[in-house]
Chain A
Amino acid sequence: MSQVNAREYWTDMNRAEQGVATFMAVTIGGLLVAMLAGGLDPTYFLFLFGLGGMFALMSLGLNAQWGFTGLINFSVAAFFGLGAYGAALMTATNSPVAGGFDPIFGLVLGLVLAAVFAVAIGIPTLRLRADYLAIATLGLAEVIRTVILNERDLTAGSQGLRGIPGFFENWPVLSTFPEAMPGLRIEIIPGQPVVLELSFWEQLLNVSLLLVFLGVSFFVLRRAHRSPWGRVLRTIRSDEDLAKTLGKNTYWYKMQAFVLGSLVMALAGVFFAHLNLFVDPSNLDPITTFYVWVAVMLGGAGSNRGALFGGFVVVAIREGPRFINELPPAPVRNVLEGIINVIPSVTVEIPSIVLDAGPLRLLLIGLTIILVMRYRPQGVLPPQRELIWPDAIDDDEKARPEMGVREAKTGEIDD
Chain B
Amino acid sequence: MAVTEQFLELAANGLVYSSIIILGSIGLSLIYSIAGFANFAHGDTMTVGAYATLIAFGAVGGAGFSILGLPLGFFVALVIGIVVTAAVALVTERLVYKPLDIGSIGLLITSIGVAFIYRALIQVQFSSDSRRFDIDRLRPIEPLVEYGIRITKHDIAIVISAVTLVVGLHVLLQHTDLGRKMRATADNPDLARASGIRIRRVELWTWVLGAGLAGAGGAFLGLFNLLAPRMGFSELLVIFAAVILGGIGSVYGAMLGGLLIGMIVSMTPLLSTVGIPIGGEYAAALAFIVMVLVLLVRPEGIAGEPVGGG
Q: Using an 8 Å CB-CB cutoff, how does the interface string of A135-153 with B read, 1 for contact, 0 for none?
A: 1101110110011011000
B123 pairs with A142, CB closer than 8 A: no
Complex contact A366–B292 (CB within 8 A):
no
Cross-chain contact B295 with A128 (CB below 8 angstroms)? yes
A377 B117 Cβ-Cβ under 8 A: no
Q: Are B237 and A142 in contact (CB under 8 A)?
A: yes
Taking the closest CB of chain A, its distance from the CB of B33, in whole angstroms, is 12
Please give the distance in Å from A306's CB to the nearest CB on chain B: 16
| Inter-subunit contact A374/B108 (CB<8 Å) | no
B96 interface residue (CB < 8 Å to A): yes
Q: Contact check, A146 vs B96: say whether CB atoms are below 8 A apart.
A: no
A51 to B113: give the CA distance in the assembly, Å. 22
Please state if A150 and B282 are interface contacts (CB–CB under 8 Å).
yes
Bound Cα distance A297, B99 (Å): 18
Q: Most chain-A Cβ atoms within 10 A of its Cβ — which of B104, B281, B284, B292?
A: B292
Cβ of B119 and Cβ of A139 under 8 Å apart? no
**A135 B96 Cβ-Cβ under 8 A:** no
A293 to B108, alpha carbons, bound, how many Å? 12
Contacting pair A134 B117 (CB below 8 A): no
* Bound Cα distance from A247 to B292, whole angstroms: 28
- The answer, yes or no, to whether A219 is at the interface (CB within 8 Å) is no
Contacts of A132 in B (CB 8 A): 244, 295, 299
Q: B241, A366: Cβ atoms under 8 Å?
A: no
How extensive is the interface on chain A, given as a class?
Answer: 35 or more
CA A296 – CA B114 in complex, angstroms?
18
Task: Mark each residue of chain A from 328 to 363: 1 if its CB lies under 8 Å from any CB of chain B, else 0.
Answer: 000000000000000000000000010110111111
Q: How far is the CA of A35 from the CA of B289 in the complex (A)?
A: 50
Contact B100 A142 (CB under 8 A): no
A195 at the interface (CB under 8 A from B): no
- State the main secondary structure of chain B at its contact with A: helix
Quick check: A150 and B295 within 8 Å, CB to CB?
A: no
Decide if A12 is an interface residue (CB 8 Å cutoff): no
Chain A residues within 8 Å of B281, by CB: 146, 149-150
Q: Quick check: A369 and B279 within 8 Å, CB to CB?
A: no
What sequence of 0s and 1s flags, for each residue 78-113 of chain B, a beta carbon within 8 Å of any chain A beta carbon?
000000000000000000100110101110111011
B109 contacts A139, C-beta separation under 8 Å: no
**Cβ-defined contact, B120 with A139, below 8 A:** no
Main secondary structure of the interface of A (DSSP, over half): helix
A365: CB under 8 A from chain B? yes
Contact bitstring A99-128, B, C-beta under 8 A = 1, else 0: 000000000000000000000000011011
Query: Quick check: is B50 within 8 A (CB to CB) of the other chain?
Result: no
Quick one: closest A residue to B117, CB to CB? Answer: A366
- The answer to whether residues A355 and B282 also contact, given A369-B110, A370-B113 and a CB cut-off of 8 A, is no
Cβ B124 vs Cβ A366 within 8 A:
no
**Inter-subunit contact A147/B285 (CB<8 Å):** yes
- B127 in the interface (beta carbon within 8 A): yes
Pairwise interchain contact B117-A135, C-beta atoms closer than 8 A: no
A373 on interface, CB distance cutoff 8 Å: yes
Q: Between A and B, how many residue pairs show CB distances below 8 Å?
A: 125
**Chain B residues in 8 Å Cβ range of A142:** 237, 284-285, 288
Q: Of B38, B113, B123, B241, which contacts A367 at CB under 8 A? A: B113
When the two chains form their complex, are residues A72 and B105 in contact, meaning their CB atoms are under 8 A apart?
A: yes
Chain A contacts of B279 at CB under 8 A? 150
| Complex contacts, B113 vs chain A, CB 8 Å | 365-370, 373
Tell me if B108 and A131 are in contact (CB < 8 A). Answer: yes
B110 & A370 in contact (Cβ 8 Å cutoff): yes
Residues of A within 8 A of B99 (CB): 374
Q: Residues of B contacting A362 with CB < 8 Å?
A: 116-117, 119-120, 123
- Do A359 and B292 touch (CB < 8 A)? no
B285 touches A143 (CB 8 A): yes
How far is B239's CA from A138's CA once the two chains are assembled, in angstroms?
A: 13
* Given contacts A131-B37, A134-B38, A135-B38, A370 and B108 within 8 Å (CB-CB): no
For A373, what are the chain B residues with a Cβ–Cβ distance below 8 Å?
100, 102, 106, 109-110, 113
A interface footprint on B115-129 (CB within 8 Å = 1, 0 otherwise): 111011101100110
Q: Is the CB of B117 within 8 A of A140?
A: no
A47 beta carbon closer than 8 Å to chain B: no
CA distance A117 to B296 in the complex (A): 18
In the complex, B291 has a CB within 8 A of chain A: yes
Query: Which of A136, A143, A293 is the one whose CB lies under 8 Å from B109?
Result: A293
Residue of A nearest to B95 (CB): A370
Q: Does A278 contact B (CB under 8 A)?
A: no
**Considering the chains assembled together, what is the distance between the CA atoms of A373 and B117 in angstroms?**
15
Q: How far is the CB of B284 from chain A (nearest CB, A)?
A: 7
B74 interfacial by beta-carbon distance below 8 Å: no
Complex: chain B residue closest to A144, CB-CB: B285
Partner of B114 from A124, A128, A297, A366 at Cβ < 8 Å: A366
* Chain B nearest Cβ from A405, distance in angstroms: 27
The answer to whether A290 has its CB under 8 Å from any CB of chain B is yes
Given contacts A369-B109, A373-B113, A374-B100, contact A135 B244 (CB under 8 A): yes
B292 to A146, Cβ gap below 8 A?
no
Q: From residue 260 to 308 of chain B, which have CB atoms closer than 8 A to chain A?
A: 279, 281-282, 284-285, 288-289, 291-292, 295-296, 299
User: B110 to A135, Cβ gap below 8 A?
Assistant: no
User: Chain B residues near A143 (CB, 8 Å)?
Assistant: 285, 288-289
Q: Is the CB of A125 within 8 A of B109?
A: no
Q: How far is the CB of B308 from chain A (nearest CB, A)?
A: 21
**For the complex of A and B, 4 pairs with smallest distance between CB atoms:** A369-B113, A366-B116, A139-B288, A362-B120
Supplied contacts A138-B237, A139-B292, A359-B119, 10 more A-B pairs, CB within 8 Å: A124-B292, A132-B299, A134-B105, A135-B295, A140-B292, A146-B281, A150-B279, A150-B281, A290-B112, A363-B124
